[in-house]
Structure 1
């Protein structure tokens, strides 16, 4: 589970050669929020075109990033940047590019700088900004030999957002543990007469179900010393009957009307409007949802709490690590120009702007963004930041398994099927990982998804 090298058939490779990589020749992409967007390099007479892929999805985040790209191009007319925002198909597209060994010059490792993309990125340890990297993130993006895999433009501190006006209306204190969280959901359900969704999940974008599940894995299996199963996950001996709690709680939320009725069809893009209209109390979504909500309803009050503790005696946790990053492809022919762009992005003002646009903390010491959630990060500054569970203890590919199996669970309420799927896929994906951490075949569905989006 250390480094991913993907294999595809010769036929698939032939098709994928047109996906474009470090040569700057690809002028098409499927883009942000699934609408097929790319920002072509603004310098038509540039000597070098850098191809960049980012996992950013929110419009406000992308707008700021594109503004910074345009400013870099203006200051460096010899360099153009072709920015691509594939949205929900980002991971599939990058996996296919790995398979074709045709990576973009610059790309976002989205939390997998070492485990998935380690073989495909250049060492950035000699760059000036490394000395200013937040020590907590330095541990995440640096290996034992000192290789720095990526520049984290920001760092996640994810928890649960809530509509403070809804909670105030029903006299609810922001919860710190799972039992109080469920009690708060039940109060919203009962006091609102079912008119307000206690917990709103846009399951039509099923990654949002995995988002909640992954955040809860940390307090369930890691942070409490009497319920620490991390060694078992690492050596593959985890007893999957212990996963029953997770499956049962997901079913409990649905069967007790604690989720939105359209949980399997609601879309992520609806979240700000839902919050602005006081149609939901809680969401396992952070990012730009808060400021986007206030843009719609300036009177809205959106709060943030760390992920609630599950076991008695445990404390809440921020779930974190690197959020959006910039890595340079190992085989890029434009590494020098790519480093220029990263250095530009690490300038204090630019680092601050991207952190504020994404509403999370900057990765560099001395850069103090005024983000939408700054007051809450300050209020809970004593809460530990723990890396996302799947990035450390699950084999590559398990995020998709969580998303699809939990969506199926919400549809069927078949708890044992959920557990069996998680166990079998965990074992299968581990078996596909050889001693070097190299993952086996990319499945045909991934190739077809990318081909459909080309």
Structure 2
């Protein structure tokens, strides 16, 4: 072997060794999540954008089935094998992880000032002093409608309850479309699309929700019973056999063009954009009376926190700081229309239906679903009971007053407000 050849081989080995060392020095962060429906978005858009801006940090998105996520994540955390970053469900599931020491406090994280207290409350301790996940997105309640049906019948998006009921009657009298695509078989649909959707305008959003927690308001009070009365009035407009109609049935009725109005929320946008062959519009929950203040269920949906036992805390914090940025918010909001960034910074969305939902924030005061914080920790579980009673009221099994009393009696049986 000649001296020149030996030198060349040694130089080549040195270069390869250096490249290998540089690659070995890359830190890989793993994100635990239940959101397997948007895995492709993370892999093709979000992660590449972060890695480009942060050379030396690689990110892997590891999604589990939504129904298996909580149990699988708890098992991994207990065994010390969970990823560096944890996608956080709202309220109690994530609070439990923090209380067990699995999530790190993030009060001092750069970018946390970009979020309002309402945006952070789903991932805070009950006293509001510690935030442990960076808010990523919320969903907004409202009504999606078939614009072709409205145009055909000469209906404008209703602003008040009376206008809403008049529109339902006009649609039913015409007979071409089912007025409301909603069923009661799955129960949660009646509560989430119904009672929690329209209710904030009656119990005045955060004022009423916090009064329930404080024990100064009851679910049997008029402002909580009135939304049940309204739901009872929907029954004649929900189509034949709505009692046996499931959530997927309702989706299909609307996207196939057989129903005019879909009580729901922004989380349907991505799916409906692919399935519906007609133009869609949206309107916020109708006001009790013209000129009333508007309240909007702007429900925190998911956030992301740091595994307290991560071996890469600085890199994980860098990723979380990026999630708290305007760049991430705009990227994520456009990649997944209908899941709205919770940042206070201005975000430009492209999807017209998503922009319509988001525009309501300008005039309506945001609030959370009334049963999600603190009030569903006992037995009977208030959230599940609201599902049952919302369906029972629409089905004519319980009166609105009976529903309110049952809910309050169940809550009183275990919940004692802090004094």
Coarse TM-score class (shorter-chain normalised)? 0.7 to 0.9
Residue equivalent to 2:190: 209
| Partners of 1:123 and 1:116 in 2: CA distance | 13
Q: CA contact under 8 A between 2:33 and 2:62: conserved in structure 1?
A: yes
| Partners of 1:329 and 1:380 in 2: CA distance | 33
Residue equivalent to 1:295: 274
| Partners of 1:62 and 1:308 in 2: CA distance | 35
Q: CA contact under 8 A between 1:185 and 1:258: conserved in structure 2?
A: no
| Partners of 1:98 and 1:206 in 2: CA distance | 32
Residue equivalent to 1:325: 303
| Partners of 2:382 and 2:135 in 1: CA distance | 23
Superposition pairs of residues 70-149 of structure 1, within 5 angstroms = 71=48, 81=60, 83-87=62-66, 93=71, 105-112=84-91, 119=99, 121-133=103-115, 137=119, 147-149=130-132
| Partners of 1:325 and 1:134 in 2: CA distance | 14
TM-score, normalised with respect to structure 1: 0.68
**Among residues 340, 354, 359, which one is paired with 2:338 in the alignment?**
359
How many matched pairs? 381
Question: CA-to-partner distance for each residue in 1:249-277, whole Å, 9 max, x for gaps?
Answer: 333322x2335634543234862x43333
Residue equivalent to 2:383: 399
Q: CA contact under 8 A between 2:206 and 2:368: conserved in structure 1?
A: no
Residue equivalent to 1:267: 247
TM-score, normalised with respect to structure 2: 0.73
Q: CA contact under 8 A between 1:157 and 1:319: conserved in structure 2?
A: yes
Unaligned runs of 5+ in 2: 1-22
**Among residues 131, 143, 159, which one is paired with 1:160 in the alignment?**
143
Unaligned runs of 5+ in 1: 1-42, 437-454
SS at match of 1:430: coil
| Partners of 2:128 and 2:281 in 1: CA distance | 41
Residue equivalent to 2:230: 249
**Among residues 161, 170, 175, which one is paired with 1:187 in the alignment?**
170
SS at match of 2:410: helix
1:125, distance to aligned residue in structure 2 (A): 2.4
Q: 1:238 to 1:115 in 2, by over 3 A?
A: farther
Residue equivalent to 1:63: 40
SS at match of 2:282: strand
Q: CA contact under 8 A between 1:203 and 1:266: conserved in structure 2?
A: yes
Provide the aligned C-alpha RMSD in A: 4.2
Question: CA-to-partner distance for each residue in 1:328-381, whole Å, 9 max, x for gaps?
Answer: 344556644543443444454433222121424323314333244214533772
1:221, distance to aligned residue in structure 2 (A): 1.7
1:403, distance to aligned residue in structure 2 (A): 1.8
Structure label with greater radius of gyration: 2
Q: CA contact under 8 A between 1:361 and 1:368: conserved in structure 2?
A: no
| Partners of 1:418 and 1:320 in 2: CA distance | 25
| Partners of 1:257 and 1:274 in 2: CA distance | 14
Question: CA-to-partner distance for each residue in 1:386-408, whole Å, 9 max, x for gaps?
Answer: 23322457344422222233334
Superposition pairs of residues 25-44 of structure 1, within 5 angstroms = none
| Partners of 1:98 and 1:251 in 2: CA distance | 45
Richer in helix (by share): 2
Residue equivalent to 1:279: 258
SS at match of 1:318: strand
Residue equivalent to 2:214: 234
Q: CA contact under 8 A between 1:64 and 1:353: conserved in structure 2?
A: no
| Partners of 1:79 and 1:302 in 2: CA distance | 39
1:150, distance to aligned residue in structure 2 (A): 1.6
